[in-house]
Amino acid sequence: MSISNIGKILSEYDISDVTVATLCSHSSLQIFHGAKKEGLRTLGIAVDRDTKFYDAYPLAKPDEFLKVKSYRDIEELGDELVRRHAILVPHGSFVEYMGADRFSKFPVPSFGNRDVLKWESDRSTQRKWLTSAGIAMPEEIDDARKIDRPVLVKYSGAKGGRGAFIAKDYMEFKMAIDYSQQHTIQEYVLGTRYYFHYFYSPLTDAGYRVKGGGSLEMLSIDRRDESNIDELYKLGSVEELKRLGFFPTFVVTGNYPVVVRESLLPKVFEMGEATVSKSQELFGGLVGPFALETIVTDKLEIKVFEISTRIVAGTNPFVGGSPYSEMMAPGLSTGRRIAQEIRLGFATGRIGEVIS
Footprint of ligand ATP on this chain (CB under 6 A)?
Answer: 138, 152, 154, 158-161, 164, 186, 188-189, 193, 224, 226, 250, 293, 295, 305-306
CB 224, min distance to ligand ATP, A: 5
CA distance linking residue 236 with residue 297, whole number of Å = 24
Residues facing 41 on adjacent strands: 19
Residues facing 183 on adjacent strands: 155
- Cβ proximity to ligand ATP, 29 vs 307, nearer residue: 307
Phi first, then psi: give them for residue 107, nearest 5 degrees. -85, 55
CA distance linking residue 124 with residue 126, whole number of Å = 5
Sign, CA dihedral 314-351-38-108, equals negative
> What is the number of other CB atoms lying within 10 angstroms of the CB of residue 226?
20
CB 74, min distance to ligand ATP, A: 20
CB 324, min distance to ligand ATP, A: 21
Residues across the chain: 356
Contact 154, 141 (CB under 8 A): no
- Cβ proximity to ligand ATP, 38 vs 226, nearer residue: 226
Smallest CA-to-CA distance from 98 within 117, 125, 122 is with 117
- Checking DSSP bridges between strand 165-167 and strand 151-155, what pairing results, if any? antiparallel
- Cβ proximity to ligand ATP, 107 vs 160, nearer residue: 160
CB 162, min distance to ligand ATP, A: 6
CB 33, min distance to ligand ATP, A: 23
Contact 152, 166 (CB under 8 A): yes
Angle between helices 28-37 and 334-348 (to 10 degrees): 50
E-strand ranges in the chain read 19-23, 41-47, 64-68, 86-88, 151-155, 165-167, 183-187, 192-201, 208-209, 215-228, 250-257, 288-296, 302-308
Smallest CA-to-CA distance from 311 within 338, 282, 280, 273 is with 338
- Cβ proximity to ligand ATP, 17 vs 140, nearer residue: 140
CB 187, min distance to ligand ATP, A: 6
CB 78, min distance to ligand ATP, A: 27
> What is the number of other CB atoms lying within 10 angstroms of the CB of residue 232?
17
CB 183, min distance to ligand ATP, A: 11
CA distance linking residue 75 with residue 246, whole number of Å = 41
- Residue nearest ligand ATP, CB atom distance: 158
CB 303, min distance to ligand ATP, A: 7
CB 111, min distance to ligand ATP, A: 20
Burial class (CB in 10 A: 0-12, 13-18, 19+), 79: exposed
